[in-house]
Amino acid sequence: MPFLFLLFILIPIIEITVLINVGQAIGTWYTVGLVLLSAFVGVNMLRYQGLSTLARAQQRMKAGEMPGQEMVEGLVLAVGGALLITPGFVTDVIGFCCLVPFTRRALVTSLMKRFTVVAMKKSQSFEQTDTFQNPPAGGRSSFKDHEKPPRQGDIIDGEFRRDD
């Protein structure tokens, strides 16, 4: 918690200092132009890299694999995009590092070593009631004679009401 507080205090101070120094060195309007140019280039890079990452994730899902790397890359891309839209040169450098594939993958690899991506597979092991297997004594099955009860892997969606 104190780390985030310091981060939110230090980053704006550093950004303002750098902007003032660059503005004094090259001029105010050139500094504003550079900030706008970096945001424009960054948004276009974000669009291209984001679509590329999405396409790789879809390919992995079609292959039946978990796209954990692509999911984390998507998060890093989102952070990089937010940093590029934020005015300032320090955040732009960090944002561009999040967008360049080489540095992004290195960052994602180090993040994935620290954290574990867990995927939960949808399980079909829900509890079946006796209605489908054995009708209650003296009662009738909810299926007609020509209908088959659902197979083990089918999912039935519906509403029910219990009358006791």
Kindly list the domain boundaries of the chain, sorted by start residue: 9-114
Model confidence band, residue 32 (pLDDT cutoffs 50, 70, 90):
very high
Query: Would you say the pTM of this structure is higher than 0.85?
Result: no
Cα separation, 38 vs 92, whole angstroms: 7
Please give the pLDDT value at position 125.
Answer: 46
Check pLDDT > 90 for residue 149: no
- Residue 29's pLDDT is 93
Specify whether the CB–CB gap between 111 and 94 falls below 8 A: no
Q: What is the pLDDT of residue 70?
A: 86
Whether the pLDDT of residue 131 is over 50: the answer is no
The whole-number pLDDT of residue 110 equals: 86
- Identify the helix (H) or strand (E) that includes residue 128: none
* CA separation for the pair 82, 24 (Å, rounded): 26
Closest C-alpha among 82, 77, 85, 79 to residue 52: 77
Highest mean pLDDT among 27-36, 133-142, 148-157: 27-36
| Contact between residue 86 and residue 11 where contact means Cβ atoms under 8 Å apart | no
The pLDDT of residue 20 is above 80? yes
Q: What is the C-alpha separation between 89 and 12, in angstroms, rounded?
A: 11
For residue 3, the tally of other CB atoms under 10 A from its CB is 7
**Which is more confident, 142 or 99?**
99
Residue type for 29, please? Answer: W
Rounded distance between C-alpha atoms, residue 15 and residue 87, angstroms: 8
Confidence band, pLDDT 50/70/90 cuts, at residue 89: very high
CA distance 77 to 75: 5
pLDDT of amino acid 133: 47
User: What does the alpha-carbon distance between residue 11 and residue 51 come to, in Å, rounded to a whole number?
Assistant: 30
